[in-house]
Structure 1
């Protein structure tokens, strides 16, 4: 049997060669974009910034080499724009850029980088974020870092962190709360971050902040009460719903929503007619979060409210209950809408 002659593929048709050439072209395109960033002559466009998404190690190293050569204003604009792009386009991933810029000399860039890492659940960012929380020279950077550490504190309570990482998070927060040189702004963010941590020491810290005369600290204590999942705080939360301070009424409504107890629904009903529009909004939103028959009854009445914004929030809250609430809570009152084919919008127009 004769054999077919061996076919010798030219390099241009060799699949491996094509892959190599393609990868090389991508690097060339990336390097060209980096050059434009350094020169600062080109307007930042989304097409170019897409090249910064999902960077591999080689491209990350290239970016790191030229990062400080990009002007500060340009780096700041780039960082803030990448945060916005990532928020609007979940398929884009700029984690490598944000990790790199955590150590930028400019505070606004460090702050933007922390925000850019908000959805990152990689345990390797915990230590550098705690480092920023504890040692960054700028208060606003420490404050934003503390909020991200708080997200990891919640994950730890949900069993989503390794014990060693959970200890790192809690110890870092405790060091901050007891640091006599730390500012009020950062310390109140620490209290909020500690909210979900189920330790008796944390309960005492929240209570101490609640008893403080500064309403900002008191407000943060209320926020932490809501995150705690501990209904022993309900009486404190209900008391603050009649506080003269709009901030504390707002935070008490928010805390009530987080705890989710139907016991606070009558008090939230009073806040629906609060003189402060933000308190009104939070009260209506809280009713939608808590749900239950009484909340539905109140929200239905709000569909005829004279304030269009209240009607809109009530509509959204009813839709939220219909979608997510336990149907057993509403069995005694029937469906959210009297007619299964009737929408909330139709009710609000009646």
Structure 2
């Protein structure tokens, strides 16, 4: 993401995002959005911000930490992300599923499969998208088994996810973001 702009502009953007993410005077949603954007930036100070947000009392910051972990696409965050798939809060389940899809680890497939029948349709949709992004035979099997019982509104999305799962290197979930 940051590679697409010139170095000077990139440094200004990162500095602004860092200032917003570290600010104690900015509202939590602003800090969270800045942090989520920084997730793709591979610097130790970004990791420290993510860890701080992941353990914050503020719900918005904890959700932003999941979004930042997703944007990092780094498998080392999986251990922190997967437990949120079983959260009582559907928003945490949603962002954890999204993060699993972006990280792309097949080890998350069983936990994601459990969310296909989630009572919150957005969580189920996120699980479908994540499985489509991860791909491979295990994801295809889970999506194929889910398709006949999927709610009518989700069936086209499941079919698209199956196509993406069968196509090497595709990124299905990006188009599903709200």
Q: Is 2:40 the partner of 1:196? A: yes
RMSD (Å), alpha carbons:
1.4
Alpha carbons of structure 1 residues 194 and 306: separation in structure 2 relative to 1, 3 Å: closer
Q: Which runs of 5+ in 2 are unaligned?
A: 170-178
Structure 1: how far apart are the matches of 2:150 and 2:122?
Answer: 16
One of 93, 96, 104 as aligned partner of 1:260:
104
**Who is 1:125 aligned against?**
none
8 Å CA contact 1:215, 1:248 repeated in 2: no
Q: Is 2:54 the partner of 1:210? A: yes
Q: Which runs of 5+ in 1 are unaligned?
A: 1-153, 327-350
Structure 2: how far apart are the matches of 1:306 and 1:286?
Answer: 16
Matches within 5 A, 1:63-74: none
- Give 1 or 2: higher helix fraction: 2
1:216 CA displacement:
1.8
TM-score, reference length from structure 1: 0.47
One of 286, 295, 305 as aligned partner of 2:130:
286
For residues 237-278 of structure 1, what are the alpha-carbon distances to aligned partners after superposition, in whole Å with 9 as ceiling and x for unaligned? Answer: 111111111110000000111111111111000011112111
8 Å CA contact 2:28, 2:58 repeated in 1: no
Q: Is 2:5 the partner of 1:170? A: no
Matches within 5 A, 1:152-167: 154=1, 156=2, 159-167=3-11
8 Å CA contact 1:253, 1:283 repeated in 2: yes
**Who is 1:308 aligned against?**
152
1:306 CA displacement:
5.1
For residues 134-165 of structure 1, what are the alpha-carbon distances to aligned partners after superposition, in whole Å with 9 as ceiling and x for unaligned? Answer: xxxxxxxxxxxxxxxxxxxx2x2xx3222222
2:109 partner SS: helix
1:312 CA displacement:
2.4
Q: Is 2:92 the partner of 1:241? A: no
One of 22, 31, 34 as aligned partner of 1:187:
31
Instruction: Count matched residues.
Output: 169
1:219 CA displacement:
0.9
Structure 2: how far apart are the matches of 1:250 and 1:180?
Answer: 27
8 Å CA contact 2:132, 2:165 repeated in 1: yes
Deviating 4+ runs (over 6 angstroms): none
Structure 1 stretch 312-321 or stretch 239-248: which is displaced more? 312-321
Structure ranking higher on relative contact order (CA contacts 8 Å, 6+ apart): 2
Structure 1 stretch 162-171 or stretch 247-256: which is displaced more? 162-171
Structure 1: how far apart are the matches of 2:31 and 2:98?
Answer: 20
Q: Is 2:168 the partner of 1:325? A: yes
Larger radius of gyration: 1
8 Å CA contact 2:131, 2:165 repeated in 1: no
